[in-house]
Amino acid sequence: MKAKAAEIQRILDDLYPETPIPLQHKDAYTLLVAVVLSAQCTDERVNQVTPALFTLADNAEKMMHVPVEDIKEIIRPCGLSPAKSKAISELSRLIMERHNGEVPDSFSALEALPGVGHKTASVVMSQAFGVPAFPVDTHIHRLATRWGLTSGKNVEETERDLKRIFPEENWNKLHLQIIYFGRQFCPARSHQPEKCPICSWASTLGS
């Protein structure tokens, strides 16, 4: 398994030596809001919505005073707007009340905020604060399963397996590399494994 993981890492490093964060943001707060909006929504759609939202309010203090209905109207194209707008409003208030207006830099404090699960907290911890984390969404779970890196039945089990086989210092970058690879070579539908630089061999290679 370690040999397979090392070869996958080599391929991903060759293809994606640089890994810009797909969600447009300027700081930890705007990243947190963008990640909340990205649930069941594409990064591209989120990036179309956030400029108007952040023009209205780009920090917790401003956002907590914006009516939830106004937030909901702006973020409607992202889907789940009733729940997401309430979460953004409430997490902004709690950031002001509990953390002096600053996004907390711990998993426990982040996951205590409305709309923030472990995957969202992992993205913020890794990309905003540089803390080793391996955010696993359904796309990464799908690829890790295709490549025979996990037999996990959910994202939690897959995260555990990936953390075990890849070096910790690579986690933050690898998360983004796998996302980029999935979009370019390994889609959920109409996938041609024989033409995929990783699936063409990894899915048939033993652990």
Catalytic residue status for 163 = no
Catalytic residue status for 14 = no
From 43, 119, 153, 173, active-site residue: 119
- Cα separations in angstroms, 130 against 3, 81, 105, 146, 198: 27, 29, 10, 28, 28
Side-chain-facing half-sphere of 34: CA atoms under 13 Å: 28
List, in sequence order, the alpha helices (H) in the chain.
Answer: 2-15, 28-37, 43-56, 60-63, 68-75, 81-99, 107-111, 118-127, 138-146, 155-165, 171-185, 199-202
- Residues 135 and 123: beta-carbon distance below 8 Å: yes
Distance CA 79, CA 82 (A): 8
Residues 6+ apart with CB under 8 A from 56: 62, 66, 70, 74
From 43, 137, 153, 161, active-site residue: 137
Distance CA 54, CA 75 (A): 11
Extract the tokens encoding 116. 């923030």
Catalytic residue list:
119, 137
